Amino acid sequence: MLSSTNAITPNGYLRFRNFLQKACGISLSENKQYLVASRLGKTLERENFTKIEQLVDALERAGSARLKEEVINAMTTNETLWFRDSHPFTILKNKVLPEMTARPLKIWSAASSTGQEPYSISMVIDEFKSLRPGVLKAGERIVATDICTNILQHAKQGEYDSLAIARGLGAD
């Protein structure tokens, strides 16, 4: 298993931080070596890398799309819950939706993780439409994206265990 004390040198960590920022926009602070070690240990072991610099070298070579995707997937946090940060949902319900008259409503849920945010948006829209029949006649579309390809597969299925449901979703 990867030991952060010998596999992640200061220069190697800086190179990895720069690669990750450039590749996908994830910005690691200066003291997250432990996170890299824990999330990439199995990948480094499987690829027979003993230093993070070897991983960065491989990522920078042409033809490393599979490895790049694996590393980005491992480094994403995927933290979400239903109706996370209630303020934007209140604005959607009380300000945005009432102002939508003739134009189609298009909402992009970036960094949607396992899908709770776009499904929460959909629930707000459905509730709004049930209270105001005939509004949003032009329709609505929610697009959900995430840089973690593994987590998007989970989101597409729309199936959640009781623990995930309990994180922000009411009984109704």
pLDDT tens, residue by residue, 13-59: 999 999 999 988 888 888 889 889 889 988 988 888 889 898 888 88
Across residues 137-156, what is the average pLDDT? 86
Q: How far apart are CA 145 and CA 168, in angstroms?
A: 21
Amino acid at 169: L
Alpha-carbon torsion, ordered 89, 94, 99, 101, to 10 deg: 80
The DSSP code sequence of 32-85 is -HHHHHHHHHHHHHHTT-SSHHHHHHHHHSTT-HHHHHHHHHHH------TT-S
Q: What pTM value is reported for the model?
A: 0.71
Return the CATH number of 4-75, one of 1.10.155.10, 1.10.4080.10, 3.30.70.360, 2.170.120.20: 1.10.155.10
Query: What's residue 18's pLDDT?
Result: 93
**pLDDT tens digits for 149-159?**
878 888 888 88
pLDDT exceeds cutoff 70 at 63: no
* Residue 66 CB-density burial (10 A; 0-12 exposed, 13-18 middle, 19+ buried): exposed
Residues of the chain with CATH 3.40.50.150: 86-166
Summary mean pLDDT of the chain: 85
pLDDT of residue 1: 43
> What would the pLDDT profile of 108-134 be if each residue is shown by its tens digit?
998 888 888 999 999 999 999 999 888
Structure tokens at 15: 């190179």
What pLDDT is attached to residue 62? 67
Q: Give the whole-number percent of the chain exceeding pLDDT 70.
A: 95
Q: How confident is the model at residue 106 (pLDDT cuts 50, 70, 90)?
A: very high
- Which residue has better confidence, 116 or 78? 116
Closest CA to 37 of 63, 6, 59, 66: 6
CA distance 149 to 157: 13
The tokens for 43 are 């990948």
* Cα atoms in the Cβ-side hemisphere of radius 13 Å centred on 163: 1
Question: Is the pLDDT confidence value at 167 over 80?
Answer: no
**CA atoms of 136 and 104, how far apart (whole Å):** 7
Based on its alpha-carbon atoms, the radius of gyration of the chain, rounded to whole angstroms, reads 21
As annotated, the residues of the chain forming the CATH 1.10.155.10 domain(s) are 4-75
Fold classified for 86-166? Rossmann fold (3.40.50)
